[in-house]
Structure 1
Amino acid sequence: MIALSLVSSASAQSPSEAVAVAEKTQTFAIENMSCASCPITVRLAMEGVAGVKSVKVDFEAKTATVVYDPSTATVAAIAAASTDAGYPAKAIGS
């Protein structure tokens, strides 16, 4: 019985590990950010894409770093969301 519990416990952890591995991080160069509210607009636009887990916008560097699920979201869709909000975004380092 103990061996069965250990196997069940190990099986229960595998899906969590698979989810963590499935996440990707992408940094985008963002154009047109000129005021303190611009990063908020960019963040909200990118967070609106299904599969986006988090967005951190760096106003000084004019970048946004996005953690997303590649099975749901694409780099192109995330960039398009920012671009459609008036802040053209291009993936960097990919």
Structure 2
Amino acid sequence: MRKLLLVALLALSATTLAATPETVTLDVQRMTCETCPITVKAALKKVPGVSVVKVDYAKKTATVTYDPDKAQLTALTTATTNVGYPSTVQKK
């Protein structure tokens, strides 16, 4: 019984220690056609820790929600660059 209680407490503390998801907007270069956002979105979704990706072709941006414990901003910009669409973090 004590082991079960200890496991439950550890699981609860691990849940409360998990990082709050963060959202960032990337300025994405070289999107020249309406199918480009599909490639950008797919690349960003492959980054561990990314949960939501919304790409706006008209604004040339990608808004990404991610777990900062699992993904770094450099991983996001590298992912888009590696598929031919260099990006930078948008200034707030």
Distance in 1 (alpha carbons) for counterparts of 2:37 and 2:86: 12
Q: Aligned with 2:70: secondary structure?
A: coil
Q: Deviations over 1:49-93 (max 9, x none)?
A: 000001000000000000000000011001100000000010012
Q: 2:30: which partner in 1?
A: 32
Q: Tell me the TM-score normalised to structure 2 length.
A: 0.80
Q: 2:68: which partner in 1?
A: 70
Q: Tell me the TM-score normalised to structure 1 length.
A: 0.78
Q: 1:42: which partner in 2?
A: 40
| Percent identity for Structure 1 against Structure 2 | 40
Is there any run of 5+ residues in structure 2 with no aligned partner, and where?
A: 1-11
Q: CA RMSD in A?
A: 1.8
Q: 2:81: which partner in 1?
A: 83
Distance in 1 (alpha carbons) for counterparts of 2:33 and 2:48: 27
| Structure 1 runs, 4 residues or longer, greater than 2 Å off | none
Q: Aligned with 1:22: secondary structure?
A: coil
Distance in 1 (alpha carbons) for counterparts of 2:61 and 2:26: 5
CA apart distance, 1:18: 5.7
| Letter paired with 2:54 | K
| Letter paired with 1:45 | A
